[in-house]
Amino acid sequence: MKVPCCTTSGIDRGRLILCLFHTAFIVMLLQGLSWGDDFTVTPSAALKEEYNDNVFYASRDKRSTFITTISPGLELMERTERLNLNLLARLDSIHYAANSRLDSLDRGYKGRLHYQLHPRTSMEASAELVQESRADRDIGMSGLAILETFNTVRRDRTAYSLAGSHMLTETTGASFSYNYGKDHYLDPSLIDITSHAVTLGLDHDLAYLVPNIKGQLTAGFTRYFFTSSQVDNYTVSAGLQGELNELWTVSASLGGRITQSMIESTTQVDFFPTFRNITLRTVDTNAGWIGQLALAYHGELTKGRLTFYRDVTSASGRSGTAERTAVTFNMARRFSYGMWGTLNAGAYLNQSDQRQFSNQTIDEKTIDISPGFRYEFTKDVDLSGNYHFVGINSRQTSGDVRVNRNSIMLTLNFRYPFFEQ
C-alpha cells in the first residue's frame, strides 16, 4: 500500500509531518477495523465572530475591525491497553471585514503518541507543524505580541519531542525528554529561532513522610540559536508534586540557572582613509533563580488553577531570549447543567538587557484578562463567548510604548464522532 506524500524524495519537515499523519491514519484504521480497539474519527467545525479594536497592537493609529474565522478540523484517536495515539488537523480561514488583503489561511497539524513498553517503562513522542499569522498568537503563553506591524506576519512553527520514564524501584522513577523547536518568519524584520532542550528527572515517593506526595530533582539544558546569537541555559531544581486531598493538587519547584550568551554585532571602524565593517563577539555569563508553582482545585461545580513561572526562555520574533516571570489564573464554574462561567487572567514580565540574553533590550509588562461563558447544548455542540483585554507596556530606547486592546468574541463549536469502535 502506498502512503500519500511518502513517495517523493527530499521530504521537508512539513511534508514529513503530513506523511506521519497519513501513515498513522492508515495504521489506526487497520487497528480499529481489525482489533476492535477504542478508535474514533471526529470531524469538527467552529465559527468565530470577533470585534477587535486594535488589530496590530498599535499605540497610535489604532485599527478596529470585525474578524470572522471558520475552522474545520479532524481528530483521530486510537487507544489500547498500551497505546494512546492522537492526531489533529485544523484549518483557520480568517477574514477581516475592514481589509480583505489581511485575510489568511492558518493551519496546524499535531500528533502525539504514548506507548507503554513495559509496566515500568513508557515512551512518548509528538510532532507539530503550525502556520499562524495573527499578532496575538503568543499572548496567552508568553505575554509577548508583535507590536505595530500593520500587517499579518506568518510564522511557521515546527516542534518535535521525545520523552520516556522508567520506574527504577517501587518508589523511585527516572525520566528524560528532548524537545526541538523552530520558528521561521516570512518577515525579515522578525528573527528566526531554533532550540534544543534536554531534561533529566528523578522522582521519589515520599508517602512515608507525606501521603500522596513525590519529591523531584530536575536538571536541564537548552540551547537557542538566532541569526547572530546563541544562548545556553543550564538549570537545576528540586520540588514536590502530588495531591493535598481529594480536591487540591500541587506542584512546586525551586532552583537555579546559569545562562551563557554569545552575541555578534557589526560596527564600522575608521581605517584611514576608508572605513571597514568588523564583527564583534560578546560573551556574557549570568546566574539567577528559577521556580514554578501550580495549585489546582477540582470540585464538583468549580475548577481552577493558579500558576507561577520564572526562567529564561525564548522571545519568539526577537533577537534573543528573555527572563520571564509569569502568574496565570484559570477558573470555570458550572451554574446549570450546560452553562459554565470562565475567567482566564495572566500577568507577564519579560526582561533582557542588551547583550545579556538578547541582541536587543527587552522590557515588557503584559496584563491579560478574559472573562467569558460556555453553554453546552449537547456534548458535541457548544457556544462560547468572552471579552478579552490585553495591556502592554514596552520600554524601548525611544520611550515607553503603551498598548491596550479590547476584543469581544462569540464562537460556535460543533463535533461529530461519525466513526467509533
The verdict on residue 16 lying in a domain is no
pLDDT at 2: 41
Q: What is the mean predicted confidence (pLDDT) over 205-231?
A: 92
Residue 8 has pLDDT above 60, yes or no: no
Radius of gyration of the chain (CA): 24
Residue 421, pLDDT > 70, answer no
Domain contains 15:
no
- Is the bond preceding 188 in cis, omega lying within 30 degrees of 0? no
For residue 28, tell me if it sits in a domain.
no
Closest CA to 366 of 412, 401, 335, 333: 401
Q: What is the pLDDT of residue 277?
A: 66
Question: What percentage of the chain reaches a pLDDT higher than 70?
Answer: 86
- 22 in a structural domain: no
Q: What is the mean pLDDT of residues 68-78?
A: 95
The answer to whether 76 touches 28, Cβ cutoff 8 Å, is yes
Q: Under a CB-based contact definition with an 8 Å cutoff, are residues 85 and 113 in contact? A: yes
Mean pLDDT of all residues in 224-252: 93
The mean pLDDT of 169-190, rounded to a whole number, is 93
| Paired residues of 233 in beta bridges | 222, 259
Residues pairing with 324 in the sheet: 311, 350
Torsions phi, psi for 119 (to 5 deg): -50, -25
Tell whether the model's pLDDT for residue 233 goes beyond 50: yes
Q: Is the pLDDT of residue 406 over 50?
A: yes
pLDDT at 283 exceeding the cut of 80: yes
What distance in Å separates the CA atoms of residue 188 and residue 47, rounded to the nearest whole number? Answer: 32
Report the pLDDT value the prediction gives residue 271, as an integer from 0 to 100.
62
Average the pLDDT over 49-53 and give the result. 96
pLDDT digits (tens, 9 = 90+) for 95-145: 999 888 899 999 999 999 999 999 999 999 999 999 999 888 888 888 888
Which phi and psi (to 5°) does residue 158 adopt? -120, 135
The pLDDT of residue 194:
94
Q: Flag the least confident range among 163-177, 195-209, 352-366, 397-411.
A: 352-366
Residue 35 lies in a domain: no
The CATH number of the domain holding residue 227 is 2.40.160
Residue 1 lies inside a defined structural domain of this protein: no
Q: Which of 31-35, 140-144, 287-291 has the lowest mean pLDDT?
A: 31-35
Could you tell me the residue range of the domain that residue 205 belongs to?
Answer: 40-420
Q: Which three cell numbers stand for residue 191?
A: 528573527
pTM recorded for the entire structure: 0.85
Report how many domains make up the chain.
1
* Residue 327, pLDDT above cutoff 80: yes
Least trusted range by pLDDT, from 234-238, 278-282, 312-316, 397-401: 278-282
Q: Which helix (H) or strand (E) holds 74?
A: strand 65-79
- Phi and psi for 308 in degrees, rounded to 5? -130, 140
Confidence band, pLDDT 50/70/90 cuts, at residue 323: very high
Work out the mean pLDDT of the chain and round it to a whole number: 87
* Mean pLDDT within 394-417: 90
Amino acid at 174: A
- pLDDT the model gives residue 362: 86
For residue 7, name the pLDDT band (cuts at 50, 70, 90): very low
Q: What is the pLDDT of residue 6?
A: 42
pLDDT at 214: 95
